[in-house]
Structure 1
Amino acid sequence: MSNDSTSRTDAEMWDDRYRESDRIWSGNPNSVLVREVEGVKPGRALDLGCGEGADAVWLARWGWQVTATDISRVALERAAGHAAEAGVADRIDWQWHDLGVSFPAGEYDLVSAQFLHSMGDLPRERILRQAASAVAPGGVFLVVGHAGFPAWEKNPHPEVHLPTTDEVLESLELPEGEWEVLLSGEHERVQNDPDGNPTTRTDNALKLRRRR
């Protein structure tokens, strides 16, 4: 664990967030992950910022061997329980990481970064560059993020920049000729606001394949 006080504060912030209720996410895998990975031959997968584990459990059910990491120990404990309930505990390695300080070892056929945003001190660009380097030749890197704040957000956070896929791609600083872009663009999805009313949100997705 890092000795950096900011990192500890980020971990505590997320632990407190997860303690607010027994489940803060839907329990369903992210739709872009399902759309882009379903039917792909399973191998080794890395799930960055796994939260309560819905994506990792879904991948494991489809035969992937998953390394799943989060900064919240509360979330990881909850995720491990969901994996046990689903009968896939043996296919998932849950690891605690402050990704700005430490990163899972190894190479992966799929690296998934779904909504890797934080109000804390998250060096997102550097983390994503390290994530790209963890993709094995022939493997896929899938980055999904918010393209804007939700309509019900009364106090947008001007200090938080939500990058476009072009900005993400540029920040990765990938060697020329070693990667191909399979998907880049925005999409809409329906999400309930805090009062339970459905509203439309805009997200974006970048999917890359490493050629060598």
Structure 2
Amino acid sequence: MGEDLGVAARHWDARYAERDRVWSGEPNVMLVRQVAALPAGTALDLGCGEGADAIWLAGRGWRVTAVDVSGVALERAAARAAEAGVAGLVDWQRRDLGVSFPRGVFDLVSAHFLHSHAELPRERILRWGAAAVAPGGVLLVAGHAGPAPWEADAHPGLTLPTPREVLEALDLPPGGWEVEVCEEYERVQDTPDGRPVARTDNVLKVRRLPG
């Protein structure tokens, strides 16, 4: 976990080092909503951060490959997985996903808020993610529909596509996939000073057809 992966790794290591916990520690709401009814299998968590999604999946019996560019985040995630008693079900991998992608196929490939102010070839990574979905498996992508209300002008160069744009960019072969969810949704998120605000995000869930 300690190798230097360049600018993106340094950016995110510095971000995570600013505080003991950056994210809430709870699994993403759309992961819980869309995956809770699925039978446990193998999962790939792209941009896993501090590991809340991977730990939630492992707690439900999934075997998870969890990937992030930040060694700081992964060390934190591994410690929390051990505390939760699921360390043996999660393979934590430090990778720059734009350069190196995990091998294998998975029943679930999940990418939640895979956005970065450092360079990130998001469309290419998501296409690789789709290619890693096993027949009958699911690709689940959640993203922000707009900037955070408290920093609306902070990152003018960051592209935030609609779910339909994400679907089109995947360039999935006709007849090979079923679109199950492609929509915006609203959730409540705390501001840096602890005030709850409504935020609009979007989600795409597609299933690879068997055969």
Q: Same fold (TM over 0.5)?
A: yes
RMSD: 1.4
Structure 2 Cα separation of the partners of residues 119 and 86 of structure 1: 31
The residue identity in structure 1 corresponding to 2:192 is P
What is the aligned partner in structure 2 of residue 147 from structure 1?
145
What is the aligned partner in structure 2 of residue 14 from structure 1?
12
Task: Confirm whether residue 194 of structure 1 aligns to residue 192 of structure 2.
Answer: yes
* Deviation for aligned residue 1:146: 0.1
Aligned counterpart for 2:86 among listed residues 88, 94, 97: 88
Task: Confirm whether residue 173 of structure 1 aligns to residue 176 of structure 2.
Answer: no
Unaligned runs of 5+ in 2: none
1:91-102, aligned counterparts within 5 Å? 91-102=89-100
Check 1:91–1:29 CA distance in 2 against 1; reply closer, same or farther (3 A cut).
same
Structure 2 Cα separation of the partners of residues 94 and 100 of structure 1: 17
| Residue-by-residue CA offset, 1:170-211 (whole Å, 9 max, x unaligned) | 000100000000001000001111121111100000000000
**Matched residue of 2:200: which SS?**
strand
* Deviation for aligned residue 1:159: 1.2
Unaligned runs of 5+ in 1: none
Structure 2 Cα separation of the partners of residues 151 and 13 of structure 1: 23
Structure 1 Cα separation of the partners of residues 13 and 154 of structure 2: 23
What is the aligned partner in structure 2 of residue 36 from structure 1?
34
Structure 2 Cα separation of the partners of residues 23 and 63 of structure 1: 25
Structure 1 Cα separation of the partners of residues 209 and 79 of structure 2: 37
Structure 2 Cα separation of the partners of residues 155 and 186 of structure 1: 21
Aligned counterpart for 2:57 among listed residues 59, 67, 75: 59
What is the aligned partner in structure 1 of residue 69 from structure 2?
71
What is the aligned partner in structure 1 of residue 203 from structure 2?
205
What is the aligned partner in structure 1 of residue 155 from structure 2?
157
Aligned counterpart for 1:106 among listed residues 101, 104, 107: 104
The residue identity in structure 2 corresponding to 1:13 is H
**Identity value in percent:** 63
Structure 1 Cα separation of the partners of residues 205 and 177 of structure 2: 10
Structure 1 Cα separation of the partners of residues 63 and 16 of structure 2: 25
Which 4+ residue blocks in structure 1 deviate beyond 4 angstroms?
A: none
More off after superposition, 96-105 vs 191-200: 191-200
| Residue-by-residue CA offset, 1:120-141 (whole Å, 9 max, x unaligned) | 1100000000000000000000
**Matched residue of 2:151: which SS?**
coil
What is the aligned partner in structure 1 of residue 125 from structure 2?
127
Task: Confirm whether residue 182 of structure 1 aligns to residue 180 of structure 2.
Answer: yes
More off after superposition, 69-78 vs 152-161: 152-161
* Deviation for aligned residue 1:48: 0.4
